[in-house]
Amino acid sequence: MKQNKFVIKQISVFSENKPGRLAAIARALQEEEINILAFSIAEADGFGVVRALVDKPKKAHEKLGGLGFNVAFTDVIAVQMKDEPGGLYETARILGEGKINIEYAYAYSGKEGAVLILRVDNVEAAISAIQKGGGTLLESSLFQ
Amino acid sequence: MFWDEKTETLPKRDLERLQLKRLKKTLSQVQNVEFYRKRLHEAQVKPGDIRTLADIQKIPFTRKQDLRDGYPFGFFAVPIHEVVRIHTTSGTTGKPTVVGYTRNDLNTWAHLIARNMTMVGLTDQDIFQNMVNYGMFTGGLGFHYGAEKVGMTVIPSATGNTRRQIEMIQDFGVTAVHCTPSYAMHLAEVAEEMGANLESLNTGLFGAEPWSDSMRAELEKKLGVTAFDSYGLSELFGPGVAFECPERDGLHIWHDCYLVEIIDPATGEVLGDGERGELVVTPLVKEAMPLLRYRTGDITMQIEDDCLCGRAKKIARITGRSDDMLVIRGINVFPSQIEHVLLRIPEVGNQFMVYVDRINHLDEMTIDVEINRDYFSGELQDLARIQKKVVKELHDTLELRTTVKLVEPGSLPRFEGKAKRVIDRRSEM
């Protein structure tokens, strides 16, 4: 897949579900002065994956890997939403009409408005469907 | 290669004659032990009653607990001044078991180890690093004297400081090592981390805990050795009781020194060839501490066919201990079976911990296993798929539903001595 300016590198960290694991990850990122822009935790049976958008993903990968964490990069995309009632609907409608299957998503609302982070099975197809449907994608350079 | 070809390949009839002669001698030897005088009297067995090898079945078993009750010197059949060495058995509950050796015993034992080491192809050209405890554990001094008997260059490195162990292997050009299989795995991991080359190694002798054939493949790949299984227990001198030959298809137990029976651990009934049960051994050449029908607690079977190497009948590799055996919802489970399954699954590591609980009157087995760093995709669903796969593979082998917990790489305990991977919490309730 050729590098697309809309493809953002999310870091995914394997973590056992026990007290102190998130703190250990967050402290490691703080030590490297890495800023977390958005994050979520997905939990399964006794373990989970901490997903984060950070400003320095490579550095985060190195630091966490060096501490023994199991880290992987995952490609995600970010869609700009209106931070007002109906904002999510408008974005979700575009995705649905574009027949984009969402594996998971998480959102944040910041100064520039609300942003929906999406993990989809086919990133390229999703990007063109969102653009065709009139949605606004955020470039990775905005984050990283 | 043979250390003592004549003895190792005695024809069946000669062997049985020798065994009977030695059994009779052992029976007279135990008359010096109060425990046996009483025990045989109670069972109404007189030394003259043992006319054939089969007559041994008239004699009651000796159990580990009997030896503990005899602490410290209750089983010595010679005056203490004739005992030149004492060892004790490794970590069990309560008092340790004491074993003693006369000068002849130490010599006999060293010769047995020399037989084993020669059988696997080691010679006086080899440089041998002995990476086990040199204290009360029999594995250290036992192998040490056997290797010296062969004429090897022996490095008594003992345990611990794995980086130093690796440096010595490199600097001294070590060709053969002896340690527990779990320590060997740890050594391989540390060598990998260090980026250390262990190209001088070609033979690995691993024992003191059961290990599977897939673990053998793993160790051979990682360390570049041919791996041989070593079996023994302190009550029967220590290591060297039985060993694999280059065929590596079962253990040669030295029939001129150890009379073998396999019994059903529950009923005591003697089992035939090919039937799995508890190994019972009557040592035939021990002076300081003769034993009769000693229940080893180890699970194996006698293999019917003779070995191609020319030595007599083998026993199967040990698949567990009759007291390690877990009974989960009525099904017998050996930790070695779990290990065997995990080694087949590349997505997870080789270390594991087993927890057994009783929840709502049902036994529940939980297995912690490390995810393999290289197989983490970042996706939760892939992890769930790996977890399911482990549950399924365990179910296929154990015929038992288990709970599998994926844990972070490197987070499970590593064992340098005997591995303690099972925590049974059922009695706590």
What ipTM score was computed for the predicted complex, to two decimals?
A: 0.82
What pLDDT was estimated at residue B90?
Answer: 55
Mutate which of A11, A50, A70 to test chain B, going by most B C-beta atoms within 10 A? A70
User: Does the B1-321 domain belong in CATH 1.10.540.10?
Assistant: no
Q: Where in chain A is the domain with CATH 3.30.2130.10?
A: 8-74
Give the nearest partner residue to B408 out of A12, A14, A73, using CB atoms: A14
- Across the interface, whether the CB atoms of B378 and A44 are under 8 A apart is answered no
Name chain B contacts of A10, Cβ cutoff 8 Å. 378
Name chain B contacts of A68, Cβ cutoff 8 Å. 408-410
Name chain A contacts of B402, Cβ cutoff 8 Å. none
Give the nearest partner residue to A14 out of B371, B381, B384, using CB atoms: B371
Give the nearest partner residue to A42 out of B380, B405, B409, using CB atoms: B380
Q: Where are the beta strands (DSSP E) in B220-268?
A: 226-233, 238-244, 251-253, 258-263
What pLDDT was estimated at residue B177?
Answer: 98
What pLDDT was estimated at residue A17?
Answer: 87
A28-48 pLDDT per residue, tens: 999 999 999 999 999 888 889
Mutate which of B353, B371, B376 to test chain A, going by most A C-beta atoms within 10 A? B376
Q: Does A35 touch chain B (CB under 8 A)?
A: no
What pLDDT was estimated at residue B417?
Answer: 65
- Across the interface, whether the CB atoms of A70 and B408 are under 8 A apart is answered yes
**Tokens, residue A47:** 């373990």
Residues whose CB falls within 8 Å of the CB of residue B102, separated by 6 or more in sequence, listed in order = B78, B82, B83, B84, B287, B288
CB A99 within 8 A of CB A120: no
Instruction: Name residues of chain B where pLDDT drops below 70.
Output: 90-94, 417-418, 428-429
Task: Return the sign of the alpha-carbon dihedral for residues B395, B396, B398, B404.
Answer: negative
Q: How many other CB atoms sit within 10 Å of the CB of residue B240?
A: 28
What pLDDT was estimated at residue A91?
Answer: 87
CA distance B220 to B417: 20
Give the residue from chain B lying closest to A11, CA to CA.
B378
B212-232 pLDDT per residue, tens: 888 899 999 999 999 999 999
What pLDDT was estimated at residue A121?
Answer: 85
CB A89 within 8 A of CB A116: no
Q: Can you give the residue ranges of every domain in chain B?
A: 1-321, 326-428
Q: What architecture does CATH give domain A8-74? A: 2-Layer Sandwich (3.30)
**Topology match between the domains B1-321 and B326-428:** no
3-state DSSP call for residue B76? coil
Q: What architecture does CATH give domain B326-428? A: 2-Layer Sandwich (3.30)
Mutate which of A15, A43, A47 to test chain B, going by most B C-beta atoms within 10 A? A47
What pLDDT was estimated at residue B94?
Answer: 57
- Across the interface, whether the CB atoms of B408 and A74 are under 8 A apart is answered no
Chain B positions contacting chain A at CB under 8 Å are: 371, 373, 376-381, 383-384, 387, 405-411
Mutate which of A9, A12, A45 to test chain B, going by most B C-beta atoms within 10 A? A45
Stretch 104-123 of chain A: residues touching chain B, C-beta under 8 Å: 104
What pLDDT was estimated at residue B382?
Answer: 92
Q: What is the CATH number of domain A76-142?
A: 3.30.70.260
pLDDT tier at A1 (50, 70, 90 boundaries)? very low
Count interface pairs A-B at CB distance under 8 A. 53
Q: Does A142 touch chain B (CB under 8 A)?
A: no
Give the residue from chain A lying closest to B387, CA to CA.
A45
Name chain A contacts of B373, Cβ cutoff 8 Å. 70
Q: Where are the beta strands (DSSP E) in chain A?
A: 8-16, 36-43, 47-54, 70-81, 102-110, 113-120, 136-137
Q: Where in chain A is the domain with CATH 3.30.70.260?
A: 76-142
CA distance A117 to A119: 7
Strand partners, A43: A48
What pLDDT was estimated at residue B58?
Answer: 95
